Structure 1
Amino acid sequence: MSRNSEPRRPDTTTIELIGGSEKRELVLHRSDERWAGIYLEHRARIEQALDGSDIDVEHIGSTSVPGLAAKPIVDIVVAVDDITAEEDYLTPLLDAGYELRVREPGHRLVRTPARDVHVHLYERNASAVEEYLLFRDHLRSDAVDRALYERTKRALLEQEWDDINDYADAKTDVIRAIKTRARAARGR
């Protein structure tokens, strides 16, 4: 239940993309040790904004994998108790300077005005959180798949993308294959 003890309410059933599609210059940067520090700064900012909330905060995405080239956007996942209780997490994060970008079933995305940090919010039991961590941990430990993923990103960035989400979607098959190998490796 939310802090104000309201009964659980249904989640949104639509996808709301605040600001519409975005054309952004997509450039990979060499792995940068500063990304970990940026994550830690934002982790502290998030924890302070959500003071008293039972949350899990993790650095995800390519910037969380040492040695992997990435767009200089630090991705963070935050697991909350109830995604529908936006007053418990969304309002405090907006008050802390983040901007709402996406509201969709089971997921919210806030980001910095500079668009260099994306905070993905899910419920604690959401499979997406486990999937992010599986992918991150595998890339951290498997040089072959890490190189494959970087090659894939470089090849895709040779194309013109009208929307950053289309670029992200184009990586889906490779990500799925890497996660299949990650599950197999974890099972050994």
Structure 2
Amino acid sequence: MTAHNPVELVPYDPQWPANFRRIRARLLTLLPQALSIDHIGSTSIPGMIAKPLVDIDIVLPSLDHIRDATRVLLAEGYEPRGNRYDEEVWAFLWKGSIPAERVYLCPAGNRTHRNRLAFRDYLIAHPQSASDYAVLKRRLAAEFRMDGDRYTALKREFVDTVVAQALAGDD
């Protein structure tokens, strides 16, 4: 199964923020109940190498809104990807645009969402940490080219350390 999940990293594309704004506008039309729609992941960090897809968290008022939002995304052609990271975060992939979109539905106050924003903001504010992350990503992508799950799992310690620093307010 892991052979179907290759790791493809590309150089930062300065169009990613504009891609996000376009996607966000469409998602707000589809899901007007969203409290926020946030650009997360490596494409949200200027200069960062990344998989060529825009990661987006859609924060809904509560878990009660997930089912209706899921119906909307499925009707729009998003593929369900389950909830791999958190029991209250549901992933969807849409390959109908370039770059592809991976969106996550989560309720307000969700810990995974908070951590993703903390990680993004810390790396933007700390170029050396961002550089260290890029080096790690390159090494893991080379070593686990055909095993995206392992690539992701082995980034976890770095990500968890940065999130802890960010939430503690460490500079």
TM range (shorter): 0.7 to 0.9
CA distance in 1, matches of 2:79, 2:114: 25
Structure 2: give runs of 5+ residues left out of the alignment.
Answer: none
Structure 1: give runs of 5+ residues left out of the alignment.
Answer: 1-19
**Higher share of residues assigned helix:** 2
- 1:107 is matched with which residue? 89
User: Is the radius of gyration larger for structure 1 or structure 2?
Assistant: 1
- 2:38 is matched with which residue? 58
CA distance in 2, matches of 1:70, 1:54: 26
TM-score, normalized by length of structure 1? 0.80
Residue 180 of structure 1 and its aligned partner are, at CA, apart by 2.5
Whether the aligned pair in 1 keeps the contact of 2:58 and 2:103 (CA below 8 Å) is yes
CA distance in 2, matches of 1:85, 1:182: 29
- 1:140 is matched with which residue? 124
- 2:59 is matched with which residue? 79
CA distance in 2, matches of 1:54, 1:70: 26
Q: How does 1:13-32 map to 2 (within 5 A)?
A: 23-32=4-13
TM-score, normalized by length of structure 2? 0.87
Report the identity percentage: 26
Whether the aligned pair in 1 keeps the contact of 2:66 and 2:106 (CA below 8 Å) is no
* CA RMSD after TM alignment: 2.1
Pair 1:22–1:39, CA change in 2 (3 A): farther
Give the total of aligned pairs: 167
| 1:97 aligns to 2:81 (yes or no) | no
Whether the aligned pair in 2 keeps the contact of 1:110 and 1:118 (CA below 8 Å) is yes
Pair 1:155–1:163, CA change in 2 (3 A): closer
What is the CA deviation profile of residues 145-165 of structure 1, one whole-angstrom value per residue up to 9, with x for unaligned ones? 000100000010111355422
